[in-house]
Amino acid sequence: MASLKKTKLNHNRMLIIDAHSHLWLQQDTSWNGKPIRSLKNGRSLFLGEEVQMLPPFIIDGRNTAEVFLSNMDYAQVAAAVVVQEFIDGIQNDYLSDVSQHYPNRFITCGMANYLQDGFYEEVETLIRKKGFRGIAIPGHRLLGRSLTSVEMMKMFHLMEDNDVFLSITLEDGFGQIAQLREVIAECPRLRIAIGHLGMANPPLSPPWENEQWRQQIMLAREPKVMVESGGITWLYNSEFYPFPSAIRAIREAADLVGWKKLMWGSDYPRTITAITYRMSYDFVTKSNELSDAEKQLFLGENAHQFYGFSNLTELPYIKNMSE
């Protein structure tokens, strides 16, 4: 494992690791009977509506590792975890290639079709033959399937025995929180990263006043459970930069579980249709409400330890032409 001292070479003198990002060659899938397709100029047909899925300069719809690496190099992000979502289609073949080509920059997650029985064998292949170090479950899209089914629990035991981490986003309500508690009790050595800071923008109240959100975050009081903030700039998009309520949500989560339990995530690329990639974390570095030590833990050091990145790339600061 690379030393933290060696890797702190970005403009803010901090190690930055992105714990939640996405890659795909093409969106060509459906969700709940509605199509999702890549179009031109960064747009996609998404559940019957044309939306700006990618920045408009990505004209071919290909959300590739090379484009992401260019953004990472510019923003001085040393490494990233690539998760998966049903709305992008299953990208196992591509992400396996990405992890092999860029082992020092990306850790990628495999994903199976959990909506059909028999996914255990698929996950076993992803782990034993494809070498995935993480498995992603978009829990909020399981359409009522339980995290504690016989097949799910068999899969979690397989992951625990092979030190493969779980990246998961939970649905609204208390149901999956209780189910994940059962998973944690059954598989105490399974590393788990809960996504989107527990979806920290309930519409009826601030998240820190919502018991459902608090219970989800408090799952990270368990030794092997972490929370990452992927998409928090999207959750507070209406407020926009510098996202003061996002800072408040991060602080409230830290009050519940401690700063060593939280990790930054961008939800790249969808979030950078509104802001730049650097802006997806520098609202944290520029905040006067967080200490330098808190920023360092949240933005990189916690992810460095949890995911086990090694041989991280040293990224020099390249000033803008306008500076």
Residue 175: band (very low, low, confident or very high) from pLDDT cuts 50, 70, 90: very high
Name the residue among 293, 264, 309, 299 with its Cα closest to residue 2. 309
Four-CA torsion 306, 309, 314, 317, nearest 10 degrees: -40
pLDDT higher than 60, residue 240? yes
What's the token pair of residue 183?
């998973």
- Those residues whose C-beta lies under 8 Å from the C-beta of residue 173, and which sit 6 or more positions away, are 212
For residues 102-129, average pLDDT: 97
Span 97-107, pLDDT tens digits: 999 999 999 99
**Integer CA distances (angstroms), 166 to 121, 252, 290, in order:** 17, 24, 28
- Those residues whose C-beta lies under 8 Å from the C-beta of residue 69, and which sit 6 or more positions away, are 102, 105
Please, what is the Cα angle at 172 between 48 and 156, to 5 degrees? 100
CB of 271 within 8 A of CB of 233? yes
Span 279-288, pLDDT tens digits: 999 999 999 9
Name the residue among 318, 260, 242, 314 with its Cα closest to residue 79. 314
Quick one: what percent of the chain has pLDDT higher than 70?
94
Residue type for position 196: H
Residue 1: band (very low, low, confident or very high) from pLDDT cuts 50, 70, 90: very low
Residue 207: band (very low, low, confident or very high) from pLDDT cuts 50, 70, 90: confident
Predicted confidence at residue 94, as pLDDT, reads: 98
Q: How many CA atoms lie within 13 A of 301 on its CB side?
A: 17
Residue 315: band (very low, low, confident or very high) from pLDDT cuts 50, 70, 90: very high
Q: Which residue has the tokens 């992603």?
A: 136
Strand locations in 11-111, DSSP E? 17-21, 28-31, 34-38, 43-46, 49-52, 79-82, 106-110
Span 184-195, pLDDT tens digits: 999 999 999 999
pLDDT higher than 70, residue 271? yes
